[in-house]
Amino acid sequence: MTNLLIKLFIKNSEDVTNEKVRTRYGMLSGAVGICTNLLLFTGKITAGLLSNSISIIADAINNLSDASSSIITLLGFKLSGKPADKEHPFGHARFEYLSGLAVAIIIMLIGVELGKTSINKIINPESVAFNLLSLCVLIGSMLLKLWQGLFYRKISKKISSTALIASATDSISDVITTGAVLTSALIAHFTGLKLDAFMGLAVAAFILYSGGKLVVETINPILGEAPDNELVEAIEDKIHSYPGVLGIHDLMVHSYGPARIFASVHVEVSASEDIMLSHDLIDNIEREVGQELGIQLVVHLDPIVVDDPQVNELRAFVKGVVSDIDSQVTMHDFRAVQGPTHTNLIFDIVVPSGSKINKDVLVNEIAARIKQRDERLFAVITVDSSYVSVNMPAK
């Protein structure tokens, strides 16, 4: 069914890097969500009112909230597909993240209201009349929700959508909650135990948990989470594949929404190389990384001395000192400025993100160990922070 819908409604469905194609996938997902959830709401609210079951009514309202969430998802994809403008030069793709966050908040609000209603039913219990209609509606609902979750999951993987991952998680959760409602209804029917209100409260708690989890998952990309390790390694491997690249550092990756990734990086090349050839090299890197990885990359050229034996020996020595103190700390941009009475060793070190290393202590320790070799050596150190979750040593 999923493949049929894609074939019918998504033109050029395999070109998922195309923003128009992504928008079509999002619009299809929103429309499917609205239709299926309204169908489920109608069936469950009818069964719930006829049987006077608060847990079935709660499950119906949950489906109504899902329909509202699908509307928000549809609008989110529509807005995220808008082209860049003067006020938003990086585009509007982050609307997709905002729509996912809105869905999560709505889910939590629904959970709170259902919890209140269930507690009231526990205090003031009412009899529940379970019937064949309720049984058929709940079983049918579980099957439809299972398909819906698998549909969302398949689309989310195709277009790498955080909003649809949230919707898929919510749909699979609904299968569990509806199963719990069905179980309580069967227990009540065959044993007389009145578990309906308690099950309604359990459904509300589960909805709150799912909503809270989705808030965390959708807010991280808005705040600016670290890029995926696989993406970082793909960028690293691609740049290092070019002859003439001696090392890379200071990689920064910014996501302005799915398929809207910008990055900058420093690339080390030989200072003795012709500047026009080095410039041609970084032009090729920027263009081909964009074509192959879909990233708008800006490269900063860092020329380093590689044909001075004394500088090379000092660079290797300092690199060994840094690595010996902490193997996670890396060094780059090494220069040696020699004078008649002393030599300044100028370089940067990169401390991993989240590290608890005391930077002042680290700098003093490196400088002290360098001086142990020669009193005339002075370390001039700049401490950088890593903005990716893996280090990128020169290869």
Domain ranges of the chain: 2-223, 229-385
Section 86-94 average pLDDT:
80
Two structure tokens written together for 49: 């009112």
The position carrying tokens 């209100």 is 197
- Cβ 219 vs Cβ 162: under 8 Å: no
- Taking Cα atoms as reference points, which of 257, 255, 232, 235 lies closest to residue 19? 257
pLDDT in tens, 192-238: 777 778 877 887 887 788 778 878 877 887 787 778 888 889 999 99
CA distance 121 to 117: 6
Q: What amino acid occupies position 236? A: E
- Cβ 67 vs Cβ 37: under 8 Å: yes
pLDDT in tens, 23-36: 888 889 889 989 99
For 336-351, b where at least 16 C-beta lie within 10 A, e where not — what string?
beeeeeeeebebbbbb
Domain 229-385 CATH (choose: 3.50.50.60, 3.40.50.11860, 3.40.250.10, 3.30.70.1350):
3.30.70.1350
pLDDT in tens, 259-297: 678 999 999 999 888 999 999 999 999 999 998 888 999
Into which CATH architecture does domain 2-223 fall?
Answer: Up-down Bundle (1.20)
pLDDT in tens, 232-261: 899 999 999 999 999 888 898 988 876 678
> How many of the other CB atoms lie within 10 Å of CB of 271?
15
- Taking Cα atoms as reference points, which of 171, 62, 42, 40 lies closest to residue 106? 62
CA 8 to each of CA 35, 321, 375: distance values in angstroms, whole numbers, following the listed order = 17, 63, 76
